[in-house]
Chain A
Amino acid sequence: MRNYFIYFFITLVFLISCDRPQLVSQYREVIIEPDIDAPFLDGQDPHAFMKTKADMKQLAKDNPQMQALLDQSTAKVSLRWVVPEGWVEEAGSGMRQATFRSSNPNEKDLEVSIISLSGAAGGIEANIIRWLGQINIPAPAKEDLQQFLDAQEEMLTTSKLKIKLLDLTYFQKNEASDVPSAIGAILETADKVVFVKMTGSKQTVQKSLNKFKILCQSLAL
């Protein structure tokens, strides 16, 4: 009987000794970067994962290295705007400078955001395609996209800056009034881009277009 225990023990030690991975190790990492520069893509937005409402000023408390990394992605613009009547402003979070909602209970789905980014932020076409994807519209052909851009209105803000309106309902002419939709606007300066985006049902965003234009035209740097 004693022998049985010895055999059992030896077998157990043998079995347990299997499968011991190295838990602290070193390796060499080679990084080959693609030859493109588009810093703000879905999944690569450094703040995209955060479920947060935060004051960016808090970040200044952090150390300079960390702040420098944040500075790469978040443009510190001193934007000003006028809140259209019937809309309520909420505190900004992350890259969002501000969020607006409608006080009208029938327009609960309406959300408007102002986001500022440094650099080219992917360009107008890329952002249109991204926004279209968010409302389940496939990317249009280049010619169609150009046609859309040519048909869009360009306005001047109170700072005499050009802001391009992007009415995505253009692609939803035959869609029902309750489909998700969006109207955006892009303001580009030499070193930053400001995105204004209104989302909601097609009906709601079309009804709110004038207020959206008021907000866009009120933007001042």
Chain B
Amino acid sequence: MNLFIKNLAKNPLVRFMASLKITVICLALLFILTLWGTIDQVGNGLYAAQEKFFFSFYFLGFGFIPFPGARLVLWVFFFNLLAVTVTRFIHYKLKSIGIIIIHLGLLSYFFAAFVTFHATKETYLQLLEGAGSNLSSYYRDWEVSIWKGEDNPRNVTSVDAKLLKPGFSLQLNDFGLEFHVTQFLTNSDAYLEQPQEGTEYLNASGIKSLKKISPNIEPEKNMAGGTFLLKDKKGELKNLLLFGGEVRPTGLSINDEIVYFQLRKKRHELPLTLKLVDFRMKKYPGTDMAKSYESLVEIDANGLKRQVLIYMNHPLRYKDYTFYQASYAIDKLSREYSTLAVVKNPGKFLPYFACFLTFAGLVIHFMSSSFQKKK
């Protein structure tokens, strides 16, 4: 193992990656990206700025200058730190053990960030008092949900909106159906008016046409819409129109069965069913401002039911999931809705581990340094 690490340390690419110049360049780029992204989000919104500056490998600055995104910079930074750990600390000595642990701690931060970025799912669950579900919704992503009949629970086939580009086709064998996308709009308005010489679409709400509008600065406010061509086993064609604002699904007779279609926020299946038993809110005296609010929920996990109170700083934790009390709504009939933020983070303990490792490395390093000086 030691020989392998020694050979690795001699590798020209590893030696190149261990350069301090790369560290400095990466730190400088991260500074620029943070500053640029912060300024950009004022005009273009937080989500767009995150996507452009921090979640991308590269982007075009001012529309034409290629610039590395934070994702690429952090990857390079990670390899730089890894190479430094391999080349600089190859001759392990007891006196440098603290520094080595600190570097391993820093690498653990990168690993924690990687797991969090790729594995964390942030969704929400809005429930009316008395209602329950085993699905949470993504904030910005959409899907076409397809199911048969009126069963409850029902099996739903989901087609992610990322696939919904004009010309995309999908064979849905469970429904005996070919699903073709003819149009998909990220943000749209729905109209009952039939455009002249336009295709006549089937839609449960009577929508006849969609109009493209500019994406909202806050993507969660976008209202997606799309038109689709369906072909059943008999070769019969149906033109379907779906709009994200519809409450009801569109039910169509396909191969002598009723198949429902709905364009809605992408769903995430939870390992439990959660029912809102009661939502309670206290207001500041003499105002409409909420002082505190809490949700009494009944969770059903594999048939085991129990009631849990979720309130500020007291989320419900279940497996990798955390349910936070996020918001509430009261409709005109004074009915109360509770909104729970649902976060799935399989690596939620990794940052603590990285923090502990770095702290331990610092303690060991300072203790061994002071011990050596006394000697």
Contacts and interface: CB of A to CB of B under 8 A. Distances in A.
Interface string A32-73: 111110100111111111111110101101110110011000
Interface in B220-269: 223, 243, 245-248, 250-253, 258, 267, 269
Given A24-B170, A46-B248, A49-B246, A15 B75 contact: yes
A51 B248 contact: no
A79 interface: no
A93 interface: yes
A129 B250 CA distance: 31
B128 A34 contact: yes
B155 A26 contact: yes
Contacts of B207: 50
Contact of B204 (A7, A69, A138): A69
B333 A130 contact: yes
A176 interface: no
Interface in B129-172: 129-135, 147, 152-160, 162-163, 170
Contacts of B275: 32
Contacts of B206: 47, 54, 56, 58-59, 62, 66, 70
Contacts, number: 164
B133 A7 contact: no
**Chain A CB within 10 Å — which of B153, B200, B205 has the most?**
B205
Contact of B153 (A18, A23, A31, A61): A31
In the complex, which range does the number of interface residues on chain B fall in? 35 or more
A48 B79 CA distance: 54
Interface string A132-162: 0100001100000000000000000000000
Contacts of B152: 30-31
Nearest to B207: A50
Contact of B156 (A3, A21, A26, A122): A26
A187 B196 CA distance: 38
A130 B57 contact: no
A29 B13 contact: no
A174 to B, nearest CB: 19
Nearest to A65: B251
A104 interface: no
Q: How large is the interface on A (under 10, 10 to 19, 20 to 34, 35 or more residues)?
A: 35 or more
Interface stretch (B40-48, B185-193, B340-348, B358-366): B185-193
Contacts of B334: 129, 139
Contacts of A33: 130-131
A85 interface: no
A59 B158 CA distance: 28
B333 A41 contact: yes
Contact of B269 (A7, A28, A43, A70): A28
Contacts of A21: 160, 162
Contacts of A49: 190, 223, 243, 245-246
B129 to A, nearest CB: 6
B332 A23 contact: no
Contacts of A44: 247
A27 B168 CA distance: 22
B333 A51 contact: no
A41 B154 CA distance: 25
By CB atoms of chain B within 10 A, which of A35, A61, A69, A122 has the most? A69
Contacts of A191: none
A50 B200 CA distance: 17
Nearest to B114: A18
B288 interface: yes
Nearest to A67: B206
Interface in A73-104: 93-94
The 3 closest A-B pairs by CB, nearest first: A54-B192, A34-B130, A32-B132
Interface of B: 12-13, 57, 75, 79, 118, 128-135, 147, 152-160, 162-163, 170, 189-194, 200, 202-208, 223, 243, 245-248, 250-253, 258, 267, 269, 273, 275, 288, 331-335
Interface of A: 3-4, 7, 11, 15, 18-19, 21-36, 38, 41-54, 56, 58-59, 61-63, 65-66, 69-70, 93-94, 122, 126, 129-130, 133, 138-139
Given A25-B157, A28-B153, 14 more contacts: A29-B133, A31-B152, A38-B333, A48-B245, A49-B246, A54-B192, A58-B206, A58-B208, A65-B252, A65-B253, A70-B206, A93-B192, A126-B332, A139-B334
28 contacts: A4-B13, A24-B158, A24-B170, A26-B157, A27-B158, A28-B155, A29-B147, A29-B267, A31-B133, A32-B130, A32-B275, A36-B335, A42-B331, A44-B247, A46-B246, A46-B248, A47-B206, A49-B223, A49-B243, A49-B245, A49-B246, A50-B192, A53-B193, A54-B208, A58-B194, A65-B251, A66-B204, A69-B250
